[in-house]
Structure 1
Amino acid sequence: MPGVMVGEIGKKLGQNGIDNGFAMFHQVRIPRQNLLNRLGDVTPEGTYVSSFKDARQRFGMSLRSLSGGRVFIMTMSAVNLKLAVSIAIRFSATRRQFGPEDGEEVPVLEFPMQQWRLLPYLAATYALDHFSRSLCMDLVQQQRGLQGSSQSAWQVRGGAQVPAASSV
């Protein structure tokens, strides 16, 4: 179809089972009744109008719809990292190798090089888990605020902060 480009985003580290793509439209006419116009609209004269006076606030509202998906991907990455690190550490603790000639073999986890390799990932797992939980709670507070009649200054600012933090 002329003016329409569809593509695939490609592989995502640790999330290859999730299929993401994109659609781009260039000089494509769409009937006004088919517009996705929750945040703004186009008048019959062709003028764009929005209920938001501040462009930054409108941009933050636009990004909110993407935040849930990003937070979910980050949370699933934390879950996968927890599983991988726990498997690696348990295996290293049970696998025995190279003991004294007259004694028992030593668990691989006792070797400093193995600890040097695994323990930073264990620390990163705790950090990512804490960050993803915190960001998830921030997102829940944002969504609750959107359902209420009034928004606090934190909720207005957070509309741009949650997406920014989830794309790190």
Structure 2
Amino acid sequence: MPVVVLSTSYHIHVRKRPEVLQPQIISHKDTQENGICATIWPLHNAKIKDLNLDEFKKAFNEATPLELTDILHTAEEQDFFHKCLIHTILCIIITYGGEGFARFKDDLTKTLPELEEKIEPHVTPVYPLSSWPIDESTIKGSGEVDKAFVEELKLKESLT
């Protein structure tokens, strides 16, 4: 069985003021509802050897503190970012602005800002998982999230 490297994003849902969220109420008005739901997806072209934790720790521990210049854009990066923002706004206008703007779609495609560093076009499959009644704010909550992933994805069974 091939090994697939996955990433996950999980969301915590806590409702402390259900009176504000009336349409979402499942239970009583005075209860607090906790839950976790998650989405997983394969990391594009990722290999297990690329996820070496020892190398990560070494790089992290040897990294110098961030300087302001580490996060500021260069003039070229500022220019590219500005072009991307304009393109995004135009994309929203053309996509949702009705028939009058839809005729500019081909022109917009031709003006897409590009960099030399890019991955090939591909579709990333996304797998939403069930929600679980886990309160991650407790000491054992994170462990329960991990256990839920393993059980939901039947990871133990796939190793045997």
Q: TM-score range by the shorter chain?
A: under 0.3
Relative to the length of structure 1, the TM-score reads 0.26
Relative to the length of structure 2, the TM-score reads 0.27
- The structure in which a higher percent of residues are helix is 1
Larger Rg: 1
- The structure in which a higher percent of residues are strand is 2
